[in-house]
Amino acid sequence: MKEHESVPYSLPRLDDAEAVSRAEAMRDRMKQRRTCRYFSDEPVPREIIEAAIEAAGTAPNGANHQPWHFAVVSSPEMKRAIREAAEEEERNFYTGKASEEWLDALAPLGTDEDKPFLETAPWLIVVFAQRKGGIEEDGKTQNYYVNESVGIACGMLIATLHEAGLATLTHTPSPMGFPREICGRPDVEKPLMVVVVGHPAKGATVPAHALKKKPLEQISSWL
């Protein structure tokens, strides 16, 4: 390897039994994660959102450029603007843009163009992928593996929020240019998703179809 400044790798070594126990415990907690479409307006401490974003910011990424930005929205006016813009795109999707095959795939989940959760939930985290900027965010330096890096960060964000006992939903209307304008972000940033965060509403349900998960033998091969 080329010469470079380095520091010792630091990770506590666990015995096999403890490592297996921790992995299985994490698996079991993550198996409880469900996408929620019915949110309460109950407040959620800002400190939880901050901790989750800091956790997301530790994600592996191309050249350590950390090509992400998390715009956290709690303003009722901004949440309403996001909802109105998202629902306009969703109406176009459900009334013409989406193929019949796509709509058939969505039917068991009961989704439609109405997105009240975008206003009801206390927090919206709009995730932006920075195509340029580098670690200094100069707006010019090329970033690398942007979608992969930001996708991993989003997974870590959602996992941390779930660990804190919060419900989440990933909302990805297409096209999705409107969050950039609403959140005042630069053109070099691409809105990737809106993560809705809060407590589930009383009596919230999830589609039975969402409980169908592929088994280990289907999602893995051991070579």
Decide: pTM greater than 0.85. Answer: yes
What pLDDT score was predicted for residue 176? 87
Q: What is the pLDDT of residue 1?
A: 78
SS (H, E, C) 156-174: HHHHHHHHCCCEEEEECCC
Tell me: pLDDT of 73 over 90: yes
pLDDT higher than 90, residue 123: yes
DSSP 58-126: TS--GGG---EEEEEE--HHHHHHHHHHHHHHHHHIIIIIS-HHHHHHHGGGT--S--THHHHSSEEEE
Q: What are phi and psi of 31, to 5 degrees?
A: -65, -20
Q: Over range 118-143, report the average pLDDT.
A: 97
pLDDT band at 188 (very low <50, low <70, confident <90, very high): very high
pLDDT at 56 exceeding the cut of 90:
yes
Amino acid identity at 198? G
In this prediction, residue 175 has a pLDDT band, given cuts at 50, 70 and 90, of: confident
* Domains recognised in the chain with CATH numbers: 35-202 (3.40.109.10)
Would you state the pLDDT for residue 174? 82
The predicted structure's pLDDT at residue 81? 98
Average pLDDT over residues 3-18: 94
Summarize the confidence of residues 167-193 as an average pLDDT: 94
Q: Which residues have C-beta within 8 Å of that of residue 114, sequence separation ≥ 6?
A: 87
